[in-house]
């Protein structure tokens, strides 16, 4: 972050000195904090393009349309190429078919399970798209004076440090300077990063997902995981149950050849999608169990460290993401923490959301 910095000066109540230009690269360290004095430093502000062209807006929407189209195609294929043909095969659409026979049919059970997974997937997807990921509050806006062109001077006073402590610890760099954004001119709280696509700093940023045209951060990561889990479950469920319908279509000479080809492509395409989604889902389970984000996982490959400083335990790491009530972990609901009168042993865990209000 500080590769282009020209000069840094630290003025305390007792001394003043200039930090040498050989500034190390950014790494996660212990929480930052000064006890007294005023911090002055200069930096070169990054130029950001706030104007988005029509072409760029269209390109942002294309991945979202592709993902929603895949969901709708898979839903239609399962309903019209498996459920309805198999129900017709057992005589569901005849006048002699009874309601008791419907309840005892395995295809009715398949339909109900698939319907529940689809509703969960649709709601989770919409919440992931439209829920803000969590932005840095304005209290952490730096007091910056434009000296010349893109060169700014920033002053961090003791009052500002109190604001930083009020809203949680802010990581520091090896130079003892706080992590701050050269684009937004804001101090970065723990685990926050600037998204170059959204042009804003995101709290506990995991990554920017083009398929929902939104950043995945502190406020919508649970919805994102609900979307991934329900999508994975639905895709795997289709792979295991739809094979009977595919086999019937291939063995029945009454079906058109084009129909047999379409249903085969749809089925094996879904099998490939299931494998990809399973790998992606288990990767995020690994991240959650180790209290890592995708960005921190990539940092771990270059900056070697044994475990995340935010790691508590595997169970509490999942509680931090999904809430303390495991019955709603798979539902597209906001985090639920049980009340203070509950005997739930997970109440000893303190959510990091309280640090960024």
Cα→Cα distances 231→24, 59, 75, 121, Å: 42, 24, 11, 6
Whole-angstrom distance, CA of residue 58 vs CA of residue 159: 44
State yes or no: pLDDT of 263 exceeds 80: yes
Instruction: Tell me what pLDDT residue 3 has.
Output: 35
Residue range 327-354, pLDDT digits in tens? 889 999 887 655 443 333 333 333 344 3
Which of 32-41, 250-259, 301-310 is predicted least confidently?
32-41
80-89, 90-99, 307-316, range with the lowest pLDDT:
90-99
pLDDT score of 174 more than 70: no
Residue count (the chain): 357
As a whole number of angstroms, the distance between CA 77 and CA 57 comes to 30
For residue 201, indicate whether it is catalytic. Answer: no
Number of Cα atoms under 13 Å in the Cβ half of residue 344: 18
Give the integer Cα–Cα distance in Å for 142 and 163: 11
Average pLDDT for residues 7-20, to the nearest whole number?
35
pLDDT value at position 69?
92
* Whole-number average pLDDT of the chain: 75
pLDDT band at 30 (very low <50, low <70, confident <90, very high): very low
Residue 22's pLDDT band (boundaries 50, 70, 90)? very low
Residue of 181, 201, 209, 215 marked catalytic: 209
- Rounded-to-integer distance, Cα 88 and Cα 110, Å: 15
Per the CB < 8 A criterion, the answer to whether 225 and 322 are in contact is yes
The whole-model pTM stands at 0.77
Mean pLDDT, range 163-181, rounded to an integer = 64
Token pair 């319907």 is at which residue? 115
CB atoms within 10 A of CB 330: 16
Digit-coded pLDDT (tens) for 226-255 = 999 999 999 999 999 998 888 888 887 777
- Coil, strand or helix: which one is 195? strand
Q: At 126, is the pLDDT very low, low, confident or very high (cuts 50, 70, 90)? A: very high
- Among the listed ranges 50-59, 104-113, 267-276, 281-290, which one has the minimum average pLDDT value? 50-59
- Reduced to 3 states (helix: H, G, I; strand: E, B; else coil), residue 219 is coil
134 half-sphere exposure, CB direction, 13 A CA radius: 24
The answer to whether the beta carbons of residues 133 and 203 sit under 8 Å apart is yes
pLDDT of residue 113: 93
As a whole number, mean pLDDT of residues 136-163 equals 71
Residue 318 has pLDDT above 50, yes or no: yes
């Amino acid at each position: 972050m500080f590769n282009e910095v020209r000069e840094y000066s630290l003025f305390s109540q007792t001394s003043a000195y200039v930090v040498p230009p050989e500034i190390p690269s950014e790494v996660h360290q212990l929480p930052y904090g000064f006890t007294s004095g005023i911090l002055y430093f200069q930096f070169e502000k990054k130029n950001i393009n706030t104007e988005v062209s029509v072409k760029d807006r269209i390109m942002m929407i294309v991945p979202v349309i592709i993902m929603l189209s895949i969901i709708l195609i898979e839903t239609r294929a399962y309903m019209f190429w498996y459920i309805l043909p198999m129900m017709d095969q057992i005589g569901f659409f005849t006048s002699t078919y009874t309601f008791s026979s419907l309840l005892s049919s395995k295809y009715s059970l398949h339909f109900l399970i698939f319907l529940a997974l689809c509703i969960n997937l649709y709601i989770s997807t919409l919440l992931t798209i439209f829920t803000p990921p969590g932005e840095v509050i304005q209290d952490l806006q730096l007091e910056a004076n434009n000296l010349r062109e893109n060169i700014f001077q920033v002053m961090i006073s003791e009052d500002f440090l109190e604001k930083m402590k009020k809203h949680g610890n802010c990581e520091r760099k090896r130079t003892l300077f706080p992590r701050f954004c050269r684009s937004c001119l804001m101090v970065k709280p723990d685990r926050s990063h600037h998204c170059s696509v959204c042009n804003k700093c995101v709290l506990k940023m995991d990554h920017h997902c083009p398929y929902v045209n939104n950043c995945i951060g502190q406020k919508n990561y649970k919805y994102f995981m609900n979307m991934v889990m329900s999508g994975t479950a639905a895709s795997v469920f289709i792979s295991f149950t739809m094979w009977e319908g595919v086999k019937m279509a291939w063995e029945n000479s009454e079906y058109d050849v084009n129909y047999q080809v379409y249903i085969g492509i749809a089925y094996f395409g879904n099998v490939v999608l299931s494998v990809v989604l399973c790998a992606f889902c288990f990767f995020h389970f690994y991240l959650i169990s180790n209290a890592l984000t995708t960005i921190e996982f990539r940092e771990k490959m270059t900056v070697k460290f044994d475990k995340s400083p935010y790691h508590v335990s595997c169970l509490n790491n999942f509680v931090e993401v999904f809430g303390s009530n495991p019955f709603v972990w798979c539902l597209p609901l906001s985090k639920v923490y049980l009340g203070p009168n509950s005997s739930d042993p997970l109440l000893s865990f303190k959510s990091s959301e309280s640090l960024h209000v």
